[in-house]
Structure 1
Amino acid sequence: MNVKGGICVRVSYDFRDRVVVVTGGGHGIGAGLCLEVAKAGGVAISADIAPDPSLATKSERIQVEKVDVGDGQGLQRFLESVIVQHGHIDSFVQAAAIQPRQLIQEMSAETWLRVMDINLNSLFYAAQILIPHMTQRHYGSIVTFSSGLATTGWAKASAYATTKAALVALIKSIAKETLPYGVRANIVAPGITDTDLFTGPNSQDEQEFFRVRGGGVGTVDEVVPLLMFLISDASQSLTGALLSRDLIIHPQDV
């Protein structure tokens, strides 16, 4: 992705013979990425607890699966089945996340742990399958998402913010452990993006604040090109990086 005079210039990628698994691939950024991977000739596997069957009708290269990433062992079995079916996984993008809005004293332990399982622990369980597979092949890319809330915190978003901070440390640790084997692990802070994760937890007034006075709201189409770069060979020398589009988080701050 090149930027000239403030204009985003899309780059064409060749994803033929590539298999990309996207959790949270049934909606929002995840679904947008699946469509782009398929357009580039790759196989995109959309894994979501609420899958969108219509994705598969848009391209024969998109495979839709119902997966609860909060079930660590179930997620591992799913990844193992993908390897058996396709022979390999080239890239894994963890886009699945939830953001319940509750004060700490009002949040149940079950809700807290569910956020940890979906947003954070799912990457740990996935990495236990992906790292041996990718290091053996000396090839692979793992990408996840952080947020400005990782450094600022936010009222009624403590669990979400906690996971987004922890993911930075986890992805950097994965990057260091896999560096000798040609595997890449990076993290993106996309900023507020117009998806269900933004519109769901926020009232109309809150949404309007962010759209008008809070720095603006990005789109899926603005985030997907960055993800395509990170899972392509164009980023083969980039690992352990935090790439931020978020106005309140900077790579040097974490």
Structure 2
Amino acid sequence: MSTKPIGMFDSGVGGTSILMELHTLMPNENYIYLADSKNAPYGNKTKEEILQLSVKNSKLLIEKGCKIIVVACNTATTNAISHLRSNYNVPFIGIEPAIKPAALHSKTKAVGILATKGTLSSDLFHNTSSLFTSGIKVIEQVGEGIVPLIEAGKLYSPEMEELLKSYLEPMLSQDIDYLVLGCTHYPYLIPILNSILPREVKIIDSGLAVARQTQTVLKTRSLINKSQQKASVKLFTNGNLDVLKSILADKFETSYLDF
């Protein structure tokens, strides 16, 4: 069982930012990643649609023999992970915006969060946020249009830069000192964000925390892969294969799959 792969899915290429953290932390593990680019973005879909897509992806990963599934999508986590955990025997790891460390360390008592509509409107996000943001001004911004640009291969484009500036300026005017990234696509924006944000504004994402939590669950369940065989990383997309390859610089095996 321990040599079976870690399964992952996201509404496109964004969750590969989590994959990279996992692979760095646990290079001996095998991975299967599903980029559901055909249905991206999840953030503007209904809860029922998000649930159906999450079930579809999870079933496929279970069929491929995955020992654990990382829901590498904030929107899918906040809208579907309770259902997934209740209906399938494999452990599920979710991802939420890292609002807690931002709120705890903010000196200006103002933090910004850039996330999808599906994440910001979810009960899980609001419950988590309310636990840690007493006395903190939280400026929420729906990142409308960001995921489609990344999925279209326009990560470093004038359109992206202008869009990000329009989202960040209202946050900066309210003196934020932390920006929380609430979508797994968004870590790929960090070079652009750093060129726009003042140096004192810190960016936080959840990638490393998710990787560590996955490792902890695998250890607890005695599922760590101790095999000396060369590990495999397989990525499947139902969208533009070239976009996935460009994001990963052809580092891993990538294939088209109609799912």
What TM-score, normalized to structure 1? 0.42
